[in-house]
Amino acid sequence: MRRLFFFSNNKNKIIEIKKIFNNFNLELLSLIDLNISEEPEESGRTFEENAKIKSDYGFLKTGISCFADDSGICIESLKWKPGVLSKRFLNNFKSNEACFKSIIKSTKKNNKQNAYFKTSISLTMKGNQNVIFNGKIDGKISEQVKGRYGFGYDPVFIPKNYNKTLAELRTKEKNEISHRSIAVTKLINFLIN
Protein backbone atom coordinates (compact mmCIF):
# COMPACT_ATOMS: atom_id res chain seq x y z
CA MET A 1 0.00 0.00 0.00
CA ARG A 2 1.26 3.48 -0.89
CA ARG A 3 1.04 6.23 1.65
CA LEU A 4 -0.21 9.62 0.70
CA PHE A 5 -0.45 12.68 2.91
CA PHE A 6 -3.49 14.97 2.52
CA PHE A 7 -2.53 18.34 3.98
CA SER A 8 -5.76 19.49 5.56
CA ASN A 9 -7.24 20.26 8.96
CA ASN A 10 -10.79 20.46 7.60
CA LYS A 11 -12.56 17.39 9.04
CA ASN A 12 -15.36 17.60 6.46
CA LYS A 13 -12.90 17.66 3.56
CA ILE A 14 -10.94 14.75 5.04
CA ILE A 15 -14.12 12.64 5.35
CA GLU A 16 -15.19 13.54 1.80
CA ILE A 17 -11.79 12.75 0.30
CA LYS A 18 -11.31 9.51 2.27
CA LYS A 19 -14.65 8.31 0.84
CA ILE A 20 -13.42 8.98 -2.70
CA PHE A 21 -10.14 7.17 -1.94
CA ASN A 22 -11.89 4.14 -0.35
CA ASN A 23 -11.68 2.01 -3.50
CA PHE A 24 -7.96 2.48 -4.02
CA ASN A 25 -5.01 0.79 -2.42
CA LEU A 26 -3.67 4.00 -0.89
CA GLU A 27 -3.30 4.83 2.77
CA LEU A 28 -4.45 8.42 3.24
CA LEU A 29 -2.84 10.32 6.11
CA SER A 30 -3.95 13.72 7.40
CA LEU A 31 -2.39 16.39 9.63
CA ILE A 32 -4.05 14.76 12.66
CA ASP A 33 -2.49 11.34 11.85
CA LEU A 34 0.96 12.92 11.60
CA ASN A 35 0.51 15.19 14.63
CA ILE A 36 1.26 18.36 12.66
CA SER A 37 -0.42 21.51 13.93
CA GLU A 38 1.35 24.35 12.13
CA GLU A 39 0.30 25.38 8.64
CA PRO A 40 1.88 27.77 6.15
CA GLU A 41 0.24 31.08 5.33
CA GLU A 42 -1.95 30.80 2.23
CA SER A 43 -0.61 33.88 0.49
CA GLY A 44 -1.26 32.81 -3.10
CA ARG A 45 -3.44 34.82 -5.45
CA THR A 46 -4.89 31.70 -7.12
CA PHE A 47 -6.28 28.37 -5.93
CA GLU A 48 -3.30 26.64 -7.60
CA GLU A 49 -0.74 28.80 -5.73
CA ASN A 50 -2.37 28.17 -2.33
CA ALA A 51 -2.61 24.42 -2.94
CA LYS A 52 1.08 24.35 -3.93
CA ILE A 53 2.16 26.29 -0.81
CA LYS A 54 0.46 23.65 1.38
CA SER A 55 1.58 20.52 -0.53
CA ASP A 56 5.21 21.72 -0.67
CA TYR A 57 5.11 22.48 3.05
CA GLY A 58 3.65 19.04 3.88
CA PHE A 59 6.23 17.25 1.75
CA LEU A 60 9.13 19.23 3.28
CA LYS A 61 7.89 18.45 6.83
CA THR A 62 7.40 14.70 6.30
CA GLY A 63 9.11 13.48 3.13
CA ILE A 64 5.81 11.73 2.29
CA SER A 65 4.17 12.46 -1.08
CA CYS A 66 1.70 15.17 -0.19
CA PHE A 67 -1.31 16.74 -1.81
CA ALA A 68 -3.34 19.75 -0.73
CA ASP A 69 -6.36 21.48 -2.14
CA ASP A 70 -7.61 25.00 -2.21
CA SER A 71 -11.23 25.53 -3.05
CA GLY A 72 -13.72 28.30 -3.16
CA ILE A 73 -16.85 29.73 -4.65
CA CYS A 74 -16.94 32.44 -7.30
CA ILE A 75 -20.20 34.38 -7.48
CA GLU A 76 -21.21 36.53 -10.44
CA SER A 77 -23.16 39.08 -8.35
CA LEU A 78 -20.01 39.61 -6.24
CA LYS A 79 -17.85 40.19 -9.37
CA TRP A 80 -16.78 36.50 -9.25
CA LYS A 81 -15.49 36.82 -5.70
CA PRO A 82 -14.78 35.64 -2.95
CA GLY A 83 -12.68 33.03 -4.86
CA VAL A 84 -9.46 32.27 -2.95
CA LEU A 85 -10.79 34.34 -0.05
CA SER A 86 -13.92 32.15 0.37
CA LYS A 87 -13.06 30.97 3.88
CA ARG A 88 -12.13 34.47 5.10
CA PHE A 89 -15.26 35.93 3.49
CA LEU A 90 -17.46 33.42 5.35
CA ASN A 91 -15.62 34.08 8.63
CA ASN A 92 -16.21 37.85 8.30
CA PHE A 93 -19.90 37.32 9.10
CA LYS A 94 -21.25 36.57 12.55
CA SER A 95 -22.66 33.29 11.22
CA ASN A 96 -22.75 31.23 8.03
CA GLU A 97 -26.47 32.01 7.82
CA ALA A 98 -25.75 35.78 7.83
CA CYS A 99 -23.21 35.30 5.01
CA PHE A 100 -25.63 33.22 2.94
CA LYS A 101 -28.41 35.78 3.35
CA SER A 102 -26.05 38.53 2.22
CA ILE A 103 -25.09 36.50 -0.89
CA ILE A 104 -28.76 35.80 -1.74
CA LYS A 105 -29.61 39.49 -1.28
CA SER A 106 -26.74 40.53 -3.60
CA THR A 107 -27.84 37.95 -6.19
CA LYS A 108 -31.41 39.27 -6.19
CA LYS A 109 -30.33 42.94 -6.21
CA ASN A 110 -27.96 42.47 -9.18
CA ASN A 111 -30.22 39.91 -10.86
CA LYS A 112 -27.20 37.65 -11.36
CA GLN A 113 -27.50 34.08 -10.08
CA ASN A 114 -24.50 32.37 -11.70
CA ALA A 115 -21.74 30.90 -9.58
CA TYR A 116 -19.15 28.15 -9.69
CA PHE A 117 -17.03 26.17 -7.28
CA LYS A 118 -13.40 25.48 -8.11
CA THR A 119 -10.85 23.17 -6.53
CA SER A 120 -7.16 23.04 -7.32
CA ILE A 121 -5.08 20.17 -6.00
CA SER A 122 -1.30 20.27 -5.90
CA LEU A 123 0.64 17.02 -5.54
CA THR A 124 4.26 17.22 -4.37
CA MET A 125 6.28 14.02 -4.72
CA LYS A 126 9.76 15.53 -4.86
CA GLY A 127 11.06 18.89 -3.72
CA ASN A 128 9.76 21.66 -5.99
CA GLN A 129 7.97 19.26 -8.34
CA ASN A 130 4.22 19.73 -8.46
CA VAL A 131 1.40 18.33 -10.51
CA ILE A 132 -1.81 20.38 -10.49
CA PHE A 133 -5.33 18.99 -10.93
CA ASN A 134 -8.38 21.25 -11.28
CA GLY A 135 -12.07 20.60 -10.85
CA LYS A 136 -14.94 23.00 -11.46
CA ILE A 137 -18.70 22.81 -11.12
CA ASP A 138 -21.02 25.44 -12.56
CA GLY A 139 -24.32 26.36 -11.02
CA LYS A 140 -26.27 29.16 -9.43
CA ILE A 141 -27.06 30.69 -6.06
CA SER A 142 -30.30 29.41 -4.59
CA GLU A 143 -33.08 31.75 -3.48
CA GLN A 144 -33.07 30.22 0.00
CA VAL A 145 -30.57 28.53 2.32
CA LYS A 146 -31.38 24.82 2.01
CA GLY A 147 -30.00 21.48 3.17
CA ARG A 148 -28.17 20.09 6.17
CA TYR A 149 -25.41 18.06 4.53
CA GLY A 150 -22.12 19.28 3.18
CA PHE A 151 -20.25 22.30 4.51
CA GLY A 152 -19.08 25.78 3.55
CA TYR A 153 -21.24 27.36 0.85
CA ASP A 154 -23.09 24.12 -0.04
CA PRO A 155 -26.49 25.35 1.34
CA VAL A 156 -26.70 28.18 -1.23
CA PHE A 157 -25.22 26.51 -4.33
CA ILE A 158 -27.37 24.65 -6.84
CA PRO A 159 -25.31 22.67 -9.39
CA LYS A 160 -26.22 23.01 -13.07
CA ASN A 161 -29.00 20.57 -14.12
CA TYR A 162 -30.05 20.10 -10.47
CA ASN A 163 -32.87 21.61 -8.44
CA LYS A 164 -31.28 20.91 -5.04
CA THR A 165 -28.40 22.65 -3.28
CA LEU A 166 -25.19 20.70 -2.63
CA ALA A 167 -26.21 20.64 1.05
CA GLU A 168 -29.35 18.70 0.12
CA LEU A 169 -27.26 15.95 -1.50
CA ARG A 170 -25.78 13.14 0.56
CA THR A 171 -21.98 12.72 0.38
CA LYS A 172 -22.16 9.88 -2.17
CA GLU A 173 -24.31 11.93 -4.53
CA LYS A 174 -22.23 15.08 -4.01
CA ASN A 175 -19.03 13.11 -4.69
CA GLU A 176 -20.38 12.08 -8.09
CA ILE A 177 -20.48 15.70 -9.30
CA SER A 178 -18.48 18.02 -7.03
CA HIS A 179 -15.53 20.20 -8.02
CA ARG A 180 -13.42 18.46 -5.38
CA SER A 181 -14.25 14.96 -6.57
CA ILE A 182 -13.44 15.94 -10.18
CA ALA A 183 -9.97 17.14 -9.10
CA VAL A 184 -9.43 14.16 -6.74
CA THR A 185 -10.42 11.70 -9.50
CA LYS A 186 -7.81 13.29 -11.80
CA LEU A 187 -5.25 12.92 -8.98
CA ILE A 188 -6.15 9.25 -8.42
CA ASN A 189 -5.99 8.48 -12.17
CA PHE A 190 -2.53 10.06 -12.24
CA LEU A 191 -1.38 8.00 -9.21
CA ILE A 192 -2.65 4.65 -10.48
CA ASN A 193 -1.36 5.12 -14.02
The number of CA neighbours under 13 Å toward the Cβ of 60 is 13
| Interatomic CA distance for residues 3 and 66, integer angstroms | 9
Evaluate the omega torsion of the peptide bond into residue 82 and state whether it is cis, within 30 degrees of 0.
Answer: yes
Which one of 33, 56, 69, 70 is the catalytic residue? 70
Judge whether 70 counts as a catalytic residue.
yes
β pairing state of 26-30 and 66-75: unpaired
List residues with catalytic annotation.
70
